[in-house]
Amino acid sequence: MEPNTLQSTSQPRSHAKDVFLNLGAMVTLYASAAALLNLLFTVINKAYPAVTSSYSYYSASSISFPVATLIIIFPIYILLMWLIEKDATENISVIRKWLSYITLFISGGLIVGDLVAVVYYFLDGQDLTTGFLLKVLSILIVATAVFSYYIADVRNKITARTSKISAICALILVIIAIILGFSVIGSPRTQRMMKQDQLKVSDLQNISNQVREYYRTSAKLPATLDEVASVYSYGLQIEDRNSGAPYEYKVIDVTTFKLCATFNMNSDDKREASPVYPYGDPYYNDYGVWSSYKAGESCFRQAVLPENIENMRKPVNF
């Protein structure tokens, strides 16, 4: 009786192991594929930025998360697949086929949706830009690779040799994508410098808003940033987060001022400095001008809103 008892208790454990191995493999596969597409899309957006009719503050997307995901998650997927192949049993084949069919359904849906998007854009008369076509091609390659592997798997065409070749090819693709990402977006040090500059821009935008609010309530521009900070102290950063030096603020005239900061590198925006309007265009000042700066000291000319000035001159009727 004891051997049978041991056998009956060992089978559920083996079955549970099979389930979690295959589920883990599928989850890591989806996470790796999503991270790979995220990385490729970020590189494409950087190399072929979308051209829009309106101004927008451009912030380069970071490749840190997709690269970190690929570095950690993808090797786990390879390891889990190796364990599955090593401990292959009849139970595993059943579980694996179910998950393989689910994967086939998802990857097949991506391929069909990808092709539908291309045809739709073409028939709708929309521009098939280089960036869009490269994104379509990225999805097509990744989804087709996954679909091809798992269609062979459910047909029992996967051998130890083909599995090893597939893993090597996938690993090469991931390495190429990571190298491409760093070559286009920049090294981790470059990413860190960009984020520091973006924080400086955010600080200056906040200061500009608070200066305008100060003008709205006081009918004059503050003489120094300390005056603004004494009134609107919450969340107002008036010093460079890296050097600790105060941001430069200077009053140009009664309704115009400038803010300056020292940046690590040139911005990605290649537009020239904005023309100076009598009171400043609020939409352009708030978004367009902030996205263009050079390494070293760069200044941004700002003005209070014209409607605020007119409202202050109107008499109050009781």
How far is residue 46 from each of residues 41, 69, 180, 271, 293, measured CA to CA in Å? 8, 20, 11, 16, 18
Please provide the DSSP assignment of 141-154 as one string.
HHHHHHHHHHHHHH
Pairing state between β 248-253 and 296-303:
unpaired
Of residues 278 and 88, more confidence is placed in: 88
- Who contacts 3 (Cβ-Cβ below 8 Å, separation ≥6)? none
Of residues 6 and 220, more confidence is placed in: 220
Strand arrangement, sheet containing 256-263: 248-253, 256-263, 296-303
| Residue whose entry in the numeric block shows the structure tokens 């280089």 | 130
Give 305's pLDDT tier (boundaries 50, 70, 90). low
Determine the pLDDT at residue 262. Answer: 92
| pLDDT of 196 higher than 80 | yes
| pLDDT of 234 higher than 50 | yes
**226: enclosing H helix or E strand:** helix 225-231
| pLDDT of 169 higher than 80 | yes
CB atoms within 10 A of CB 58: 16
Q: How far is 50 from 47, CA to CA, in rounded Å?
A: 10
Mean pLDDT is lowest, of 137-141, 190-194, 237-241, for 190-194
**Which candidate, 298, 194, 205, places its Cα nearest to that of 242?**
194
**Which candidate, 208, 89, 107, 199, places its Cα nearest to that of 150?**
107
Tokens found for residue 148: 């091809």
Of residues 302 and 234, more confidence is placed in: 302
Most confident of 188-192, 238-242, 312-316: 238-242
Give the long-range contacts of residues 158-165, CB within 8 A, separation 24 or more: 160/85, 163/81, 163/85
Determine the pLDDT at residue 74. Answer: 92
Compute the residue count for the chain.
Answer: 318
Summary mean pLDDT of the chain: 78
Give 247's pLDDT tier (boundaries 50, 70, 90). very high
Determine the pLDDT at residue 270. Answer: 45
| pLDDT of 195 higher than 90 | no
Tens of pLDDT, residue by residue over 1-40, are 444 544 444 444 457 777 888 889 899 999 999 999 999 9
Determine the pLDDT at residue 249. Answer: 93
| pLDDT of 283 higher than 60 | no
CB atoms within 10 A of CB 84: 20
Determine the pLDDT at residue 48. Answer: 82
The C-alpha torsion from 158 through 161 and 163 to 168, rounded to 10°, is -150
Tokens found for residue 248: 């430069």
Give 233's pLDDT tier (boundaries 50, 70, 90). low
Give 88's pLDDT tier (boundaries 50, 70, 90). low
Determine the pLDDT at residue 311. Answer: 41
| pLDDT of 152 higher than 80 | yes
Of residues 287 and 25, more confidence is placed in: 25
Tokens found for residue 78: 């390879």
